[in-house]
Amino acid sequence: MFFGENDQNVIERVLRARRDVRGNRFTDRDLSDSDLERILAAATTAPSVGYSQPWEFVIIRDPSIKNAVAKIFEFENLRAQTQFENDRALQYAKLKLEGITETPVNIAVFYTPSDKPVLGQTSMPDMGEYSVVCAVQNMWLMARAMNIGIGWVSIINPDKVKNILNAPKQNKLIAYLCVGHVDQFLEKPELETLRWEPAKVLSSLVRYDNY
Ligand SMILES: Cc1cc2nc3c(=O)[nH]c(=O)nc-3n(C[C@H](O)[C@H](O)[C@H](O)COP(=O)(O)O)c2cc1C
């Protein structure tokens, strides 16, 4: 199968329009099982080192579990604020950086290591985890194409979250995602609009043949 100009334009539009959605733009609308399954199915089409497909997903709808994770976020977020200084600390304190309890579904995405050697992962052991990140990006893009928002929350203690979810010891938490319908998608990354970070220009990122 070959794609045409229209397909290329669509994927480019989805890539550009994908946003990290925080709590204040999620709506009360529930997420249907079929929508959820479509997003998860997109994850499983991701590339993976040695075709190891080293991902597992914990779907969280139980409010008591979400509340417990939200407490972990609050603790870590207060700790995070102390790492920034002056204006930056004040600005950080105002940011909304998760949508754990506002979203109908949270998804904890895990890396499940293989118990045998994985083709392609023998020299660079992190490749398994990178494969799971590819799956997360697929979910993010598929959800955006369905007008569903995803927010990635990483200001959490992974061991505490694993504990709450009874995750096997060898599994690694890669992503904690908040998923739900939204009332809007921002045009630009919020951190760019708020001047937390500027957008990098492509030409400043590319070297030819060497550094
Ligand atoms: C690995 C990873 C972890 C992230 N963790 C958080 C987070 O804990 N809280 C948050 O608000 N955004 C988080 N984000 C979202 C980024 O802040 C966001 O992607 C970036 O500001 C660009 O905005 P955009 O995704 O809307 O384009 C994370 C993104 C990635 C890729």
Spacing, Cα 134 to ligand 1 middle (Å): 15
Average pLDDT across the chain, whole number: 97
User: According to the model, what pLDDT value does residue 176 have?
Assistant: 98
What confidence category does residue 24 fall into, taking pLDDT thresholds of 50, 70 and 90? confident
* Residue 135 within a domain: yes
Residue 153, ligand 1, Cβ within 6 A: yes
Percent over 70 (pLDDT), the chain? 100
User: According to the model, what pLDDT value does residue 23 have?
Assistant: 86
Q: Out of 126, 152, 161, 200, give the residue to mutate to test ligand 1, the one with the largest number of ligand atoms within 8 Å of its CB.
A: 152
Burial of 98 by CB count in 10 Å (0-12 exposed, 13-18 middle, 19+ buried)? buried
The whole domain housing 147 covers: 20-185
* Residue 85 within a domain: yes
* Residue 123 within a domain: yes
The pLDDT tens digits for 51-80 are 999 999 999 999 999 999 999 999 999 999
Spacing, Cα 152 to ligand 1 middle (Å): 6
The pLDDT tens digits for 124-137 are 999 999 999 999 99
Domain total in the chain? 1
Residue 191, ligand 1, Cβ within 6 A: yes
Global pTM?
Answer: 0.98
For 167, the token pair is 């995750």
Q: Out of 13, 154, 186, give the residue to mutate to test ligand 1, the one with the largest number of ligand atoms within 8 Å of its CB.
A: 154
* Residue 78 within a domain: yes
Please state the rounded mean pLDDT for residues 16-33. 96
Atom 14 of ligand 1, residue of closest alpha carbon: 152
For residue 98, what is the domain's CATH number?
A: 3.40.109.10
Please state the rounded mean pLDDT for residues 6-15. 98
What confidence category does residue 142 fall into, taking pLDDT thresholds of 50, 70 and 90? very high
Residue/partner pairs of 159-164 with CB below 8 Å, 24 or more apart: 160/72, 161/69, 161/72, 161/108, 164/65, 164/68, 164/69, 164/72
* Residue 207 within a domain: no
Atom 7 of ligand 1, residue of closest alpha carbon: 153
- Give the full edge-to-edge strand order of the sheet including 55-60: 55-60, 105-111, 172-181, 148-153
* Residue 11 within a domain: no
* Residue 13 within a domain: no
**Separation of alpha carbons 106 and 100, rounded Å:** 7
* Residue 96 within a domain: yes
